[in-house]
Structure 1
């Protein structure tokens, strides 16, 4: 059972996991682990499933998925009958009023919907993946020079479930760099898998870039693929000015993760998120929701 902290109600709730029994089998049973290593973690498995999710036939999955996970379609820009495939539904856009972006330049917001964990004063060689398992930033991005800029900074991990809005956005205005791509496997990013696969984020396919932001320094942004995520699609233009809240890209079907690294003394994270992260709980957040402030604005 995975418990998530609801910031609004200040209570914990159990996460309704898509494919829970399959994930538990593949990452916790001896036979399932074997299948994962032989098949599920490999590109061909996710690619083939991604091809199916791009077909008209896959639209039959949409109504049941919406019902099982109580997805609010009133905030989507398309009706269920208008989607041309399951992936078309999965990367659905929302009406702007459903995800208001806090415009105050001193406010740090979430880059998307998901479950957030944050660590401050990080050790670059021992960044926490989950209790007992760590990784290094150099391993994650394969660039020692860039990694050194984030010593004792802040790491923000936003885990997206298959049920979430799957587009990710810029959290501040600024100039984004080109995207650097690193090939890898396609392990699930669910906590069940994170607890089983050492350095999972460093094993999976991932892409990274730097946003030279106007208010929070140079933000290292990493998108991590996962099982059935056939593609990470970047929709922004490198080296061109972006505004806070602009779309950066999206993930096709599957759970996935966005990781942000901030330099030392650039931001202050909200106390409730830090407290829950230290207890080992993720906090549920939405795109544009306040998660912190500029360091000098904190009182």
Structure 2
């Protein structure tokens, strides 16, 4: 990438380092690195613009973007289910770009770890992990300190997570965009924290460090069987028209159940835990210390109980 800034990822599944190919990287650089782009920032990060753009991804015409997108990002589409047009080849089976964007895996493509002391990856994403947040609940994100209390948006609720572990799972536009429950349990409460819709790409975070606490997000407090209480936070992003909850939160959930999905855009899920209950996987912790995200497939191990 230009400007000497590359996003390095360790792909656990392939056991190798990779350079991320960024969708819309020139637009991100313009919006956050260019003086004119920064002036337009409030418009670019506005909910209205994201919703309008998101709506355009629902049009039949938007489906024409699917085939070039697959080719450009080398996506193995055969892992996924077809869209509405079942008789078409999979590349032309989706009625819109958004339908392609929220595609589902075929049966048997991903499996959640069955061990009770292992947490399954709740998103197929690039992970940062921190074993324990400091006493005032600050976490390092790209050189800036963020307080988890600000992520949760409620100081009373945040007390349960002081000094606890934390994981940040970043989804790119090329990824599977459904997110899942990491363990069996029930939802204690959930609410939306209003905000902007900035890009969550590391290029944007390089220029602007407060994105995670400025963006709109949805917080669920979960009581799980093996990992205690969790704060499960879905963070909106530029061009994410909507964060959709597909699970009935009044019902108990099982490990691996789908919780919801993001409509078009790159997005993030943040998971906070109680102190001493569990720790992120050792490879994730090591890579995080080096400033490198770990790409982990849905259902693979992301944490163990202590």
TM-score bin, normalised by smaller chain? over 0.9
Cα RMSD (Å): 1.2
Q: What is the aligned partner in structure 1 of residue 252 from structure 2?
A: 241
Structure 1 residue ranges (4+ consecutive) displaced by more than 6 angstroms after TM superposition: none
TM-score, normalised via structure 1 length:
0.95
- Could you list the per-position Cα deviations for residues 38-71 of structure 1 after superposition, in whole angstroms to 9, with x for gaps in the alignment? x210011101101100111110111111110111
Q: In structure 2, which of residues 78, 81, 89 is the aligned counterpart of residue 77 of structure 1? A: 81
Q: In structure 2, which of residues 108, 125, 128 is the aligned counterpart of residue 117 of structure 1? A: 128
Q: What is the aligned partner in structure 1 of residue 290 from structure 2?
A: 279
* Paired residues of 1:155 and 1:261 also in contact (CA < 8 A): yes
Q: CA deviation at 1:292?
A: 2.2
Q: What is the aligned partner in structure 1 of residue 85 from structure 2?
A: none
For residue 240 of structure 1, give the secondary structure of its aligned residue in structure 2. coil
Q: What is the rounded CA distance, in whole Å, between the counterparts of 1:25 and 1:265 in structure 2?
A: 42
* Unmatched segments (≥5 aa) in structure 1: none
Alignment: residue pair count = 293
* Unmatched segments (≥5 aa) in structure 2: 1-5, 83-89
Q: What is the rounded CA distance, in whole Å, between the counterparts of 1:141 and 1:294 in structure 2?
A: 23
Q: What is the aligned partner in structure 2 of residue 129 from structure 1?
A: 141
Q: What is the aligned partner in structure 1 of residue 162 from structure 2?
A: 151
Q: In structure 1, which of residues 36, 45, 52 is the aligned counterpart of residue 56 of structure 2? A: 52
* Paired residues of 1:129 and 1:199 also in contact (CA < 8 A): no
* Paired residues of 1:5 and 1:11 also in contact (CA < 8 A): yes
Q: What is the aligned partner in structure 1 of residue 37 from structure 2?
A: 32
For residue 207 of structure 2, give the secondary structure of its aligned residue in structure 1. coil
Q: What is the rounded CA distance, in whole Å, between the counterparts of 2:36 and 2:106 in structure 1?
A: 44
Q: CA deviation at 1:278?
A: 0.7
For residue 98 of structure 1, give the secondary structure of its aligned residue in structure 2. coil
Q: What is the rounded CA distance, in whole Å, between the counterparts of 2:301 and 2:285 in structure 1?
A: 13
- Could you list the per-position Cα deviations for residues 202-226 of structure 1 after superposition, in whole angstroms to 9, with x for gaps in the alignment? 1001000011100000111000000
